[in-house]
Amino acid sequence: MIERLDTDVLVLGAGGAGLCAALHAADAAPSLAVTVVVKGLLGRAGCTRMVQGGYNAVLAEPDSLDAHLLDTLAGGGWINDQELVWTLVTEAPRRVLELEWRYGCLFDRTADGRIHQKPFAGQSHDRTIHKGDLTGIEIMSRLTEQVLRRPGIRALEECRAVALWLDDEGRAAGALVLDVRRGRFVAVRARATVLAMGGGPTMYRIIACSADKSADGIALGHAVGLPLRDMEMVQFHPTGLVVPGSLMTGALLEEGLRGAGGHLRNGHGERFMARYDAARLERSTRDLVSRASFLEVAEGRGTPNGGVWIDVSHLGAEVVERTFRGMVKRCRDFGRDLAREPVEVFPTAHFLMGGIVIDATCRTAIDGLFAAGEDTGGVHGANRLGGNGVAESTVFGGIAGDVAVAFVEARAAPRPGLAALEDVVRTLTAPLGRSPSPALYDLQGELRAVMWDDAGLVRDGEGLRRALAEIERIETALDGVGVPPDPALNTAWQDWLNLRSQCVAGRLVVTSALARDESRGAHFRRDFPGPASSLYSVHVQRRAGDLHVWREPVALTRAAPEAATPHATVEIGD
């Protein structure tokens, strides 16, 4: 049986984007019912809480909005949606002030009382606002407090959206939600729905993102036919901890270490970034630094555990301990002393630059469905600058909340049918009580291995085609997997659901990577090592059960790189 719940605005996800959407909606129209669905516990789940580095915003000269725009476009390989980028850079300063003055965040200050801004890689000015190296905890703690103070916001904790609900005319009508604690399904009907579940490339072997993420939002959007763009662009953060035998391998040491003057050295003690970016060295963009580290190890110049060294000890132990308290503690938990000695690191899967296509008001192709944060594509192009991620989440989350309220004011409650959701429930409950063979966690490991080996930092056509075949095999095998019969707090069933989403995201990444026959940003192809002469984005969409792939020219509405070549729309095929 499917339970029923009605609300005005439904927010799927409770990271920075989801909570800002809920707060903006509740404050714009306090009489409306706002429901937030969070996969874990409110304020404790997702990736925003894990942000160490900071928040990019232009607050004072000599920095400028144009400089932030150009840094973001150059870092993104010039395939960004420039109107989304302009929205980001113009709204970020206002959102920072809102976070402090309205929601109570306290960011670090200079001696004269101004908000402190530190250097981050790939940026022409010091513009990254922070709270030590625990910025995400500060933001999420204050946003959560504000959500709890607003009686119009209801949080459904330990619940996950498993399907988007559409009415007979194809308009958004809410979502089917699984209450993980009780193992019960709830159909939540809403006049406006905001998709803000976060991405998370957890289909890779080594990850830095929250382990509760499984690209659910991207999978849900794909299932209802939303177009997605640039899914091949997966960011690998260059400095994930190397801790042999521990699941903490891949946990981040943030960008600020390199911004503050940290050195990267290979196993021979060489500062190897001079070979890859002699001008910026360690302050180069994440895509280039990650690939450089990968190649150093691949060519036999790695550390004893297959990584490289990051060294900030020359800055002085007292400075490191004061400036990077969180990372110093994290390293000491594993017997490393970041303040006094080099620490082994290696690239780690961190962020999906691609995602659902939106406009600058967070509208998707489905009426009544809005999206914000890592579920969406276009803001970051081929590579995200550190500090632009949490800015994107809070900026576009707030916009989505405002626009959703305006939409609700002109829309009556939808009248969707339950038949489609009943079909979904039958599909999703099929593994309960079924024989546990093939083994769920074997398939999980196989997906992570093939994504890491064949669709990771360095790719080629042969490996990508092999990865696509493996993903299709894993998806087929997953249909026969069984889990224990009791649906309440059934972790194996939840991992089965996660793996379904991860397979969808992996297939979209690989298919898009095959369609981009060039190297740009985070996407590097051995068989096409240089960039193409023209700029395009890769789009994928489910149509009548088939995956349609095409290229669209990038609209250079705000700025253009030198010698930009026009690109026509190109159909790749089904």
Which residues have a catalytic role annotated? 237, 258
CA 462 vs CA 525, 530, 573: distances in Å: 11, 18, 19
Give me the half-sphere count of Cα atoms (radius 13 Å) on the Cβ side of residue 22. 35
Which residue type, as a one-letter code, is found at position 245?
G
Give me the half-sphere count of Cα atoms (radius 13 Å) on the Cβ side of residue 339. 16
Tokens linked to 228: 């997605």
| CB atoms near residue 198 (< 10 Å) | 30
DSSP state of 414: P
- Nearest CA-CA partner of 257 in 287, 278, 286: 286
Task: Name the β-bridge partners of 312.
Answer: none
Strands 117-118 and 228-229: unpaired
Torsion of CA 472, 477, 483, 487, to 10 degrees: 40
- Nearest CA-CA partner of 48 in 204, 250, 239, 196: 196
Do residues 195 and 13 lie in contact, with contact meaning Cβ atoms separated by under 8 Å? yes
Angstrom distance (rounded) from CA 133 to CA 51: 8
Going by C-beta distance under 8 Å and a sequence separation of 6 or more, which residues neighbour residue 391?
55, 56, 57, 88, 92, 95
Angstrom distance (rounded) from CA 136 to CA 139: 5
Angstrom distance (rounded) from CA 444 to CA 450: 10
Angle at 18 between CA 46 and CA 425, to 5 degrees: 80
Which residue type, as a one-letter code, is found at position 179?
D
Which residue type, as a one-letter code, is found at position 189?
R
CA 321 vs CA 9, 19, 155, 315, 328: distances in Å: 44, 32, 37, 10, 6
Going by C-beta distance under 8 Å and a sequence separation of 6 or more, which residues neighbour residue 75?
122, 285, 380, 381, 383, 384, 385, 521
Please tell me the total number of residues recorded for the chain in this structure.
574
